[in-house]
Amino acid sequence: MQPKIYSADEHRISPDKVDQHAHYVIHKLQEAGYVAYLVGGGVRDLLLEETPKDFDVSTSAKPEEIRKLFRNAILIGRRFRLAHIRFGKKIIEVSTFRSGDTDASGLIVRDNEWGTEEQDVLRRDFTINGLFYNPENQTVIDYVEGYTDLEKRILRTIGQPEVRFCQDPVRMIRLIKFQARLKFKIEEPTYNALLHCRGEILKSSSARVLEELLRMLESKASKPFFELLHQYGVLRALLPEVDHYLEISKTPDLFDLLGIVDQHAPLDRGLLIAALVFPIFDTYIKERTRQLEKIPHLGQIAEAAGMVIDAIFGDFVALPRRLQGIATFVVACQYRFIPLDSLPVRRPRAPRDPLFPLALQLLQLRSMANPELVPHYTLWSGVSFASQEVQSAAPVEPRRPRRRRRRS
């Protein structure tokens, strides 16, 4: 198939926005006789006049050939090897054109193997992510009508949506991520396929799903992302406890908190999990306290927080222990700040825990979502500063051995 080519005067990519290292890599590959383009999210974001997060390069050169050309390249990946070319802290990912798991009609072919540039596009997820850009002559190369979809602000799978979602259900989360981030419309067949295939999400790798969820919590669009996940019935499969909470809660305090989180992105991942979990745990622990007619102490609250976090993330999206531990501390600490018995804290003392600042940060976010909490945050941030000042003013001296009292 012949691609559509858009020249420099037709599109809005300004060449100075293209990362100079990515351009250098492409230049060197082309000079050596290979085909090489910028591809994927980088091209999409350049066309939208946004700053791309990363610049990926696709080429006809095989991994070993890439390595020979660049001294600073290392090959990664076992089955599909690709090159990472390092420039200081920056990495340009260079992958060889390969064919996907389907042919052009969407039928599953036997195996992944090296392919042509067209096949390399056809294995990609959405048309807006299937564009090449050649910085040498500043052309956009389009095999999938991605350019017009970008202009019309439409999300459409490459190939038949049901086949594509069944092959890799993470694509459904990516679809919702792009809608939340870009505010594009999902075209009808893709939307219908999402509704039809959403249960398949549990067949995907839970590590990849967790990574997409964390990335979205870190983005500036976690609120619309979770709203859409809920609205499209995907959250019910992924995080049923969160979905249930959204169904029964009368006030959308979780979304308020995520809205504040988005204004302060990116935040620590443990804190983000704590923010997601806190409104659910708060409802749970308050209900439990009412039932028991007894105020649980901080240890019991921490134990309950750990249990609730395990219940939320237990089934499919397994949380790494480290993140679970941070989120548990941060959530439990909220009841040190504002005790369940609602009595004023008379002598606030900051615990000597390196996670305390994160717990305080959640209180700050909560107070931004709910101004009634501002006095609590003011009180505790003062305590925290005071304790830090004391600690920095008085360096910890090694403890002297206790002198034995002399017997007289």
CB of residue 229 to ligand ATP, shortest distance in Å: 16
Whether residue 125 lies in the annotated active site:
yes
Task: Please give the Cα distance from 369 to 125 (Å, whole number).
Answer: 36
Looking only at residues 99 through 128 of this chain, which bind ligand ATP when binding is defined by CB under 6 A?
A: 124-125
Largest CA distance in the chain: 103
Distance in Å, CB of 312 to Mg ion, minimum? 28
90 binds ligand ATP per the rule CB under 6 A: no
Residue with smaller CB distance to ligand ATP, 22 or 369: 22
Contact between 212 and Mg ion by CB under 5 A: the answer reads: no
Phi, psi of 79 (to 5 degrees): -80, -50
Is 384 within 8 Å of 357 (Cβ atoms)?
Answer: yes
The reply to whether 162 sits near ligand ATP by the rule CB under 6 A is: no
Q: Which helix (H) or strand (E) holds 304?
A: helix 298-313
Residue 305 CA to residue 10 CA, distance in Å, equals 55
Q: Is 133 helix (H, G, I), strand (E, B) or coil?
A: strand
Q: Spell out, one character per residue from 28 to 57, where the chain touches ligand ATP: x when CB under 6 A holds, - when not.
A: ------------xx-----------xx-x-
Q: Report in angstroms how near the CB of residue 19 gets to Mg ion at its nearest.
A: 12
Is 310 considered catalytic here? no
The CA distance from 54 to 170, in Å, is 20
- Does residue 142 sit in helix, strand or coil? strand
Point out the catalytic residue in the list 19, 45, 56, 142. 56
DSSP output for 28-49? HHHHTT--EEEETHHHHHHHTT
Identify whether 268 is a catalytic site residue.
no
157 close to 100: Cβ distance less than 8 angstroms: no
124 interacts with, out of Mg ion, ligand ATP, none, CB within 5 to 8 A per kind: ligand ATP
Q: From the CB of residue 168, how many other CB atoms can be counted at a distance below 10 Å?
A: 18
Segment lying near ligand ATP (by CB under 6 A), choices 164-172, 231-239, 290-298, 315-323: 164-172
CB of 320 to ligand ATP, least distance (A): 20
| Least distance CB 41 / ligand ATP (angstroms) | 2
Interface residues toward ligand ATP, by CB under 6 A: 40-41, 53-54, 56, 124-125, 129, 168, 170-171, 174
Q: Known catalytic residues?
A: 54, 56, 125
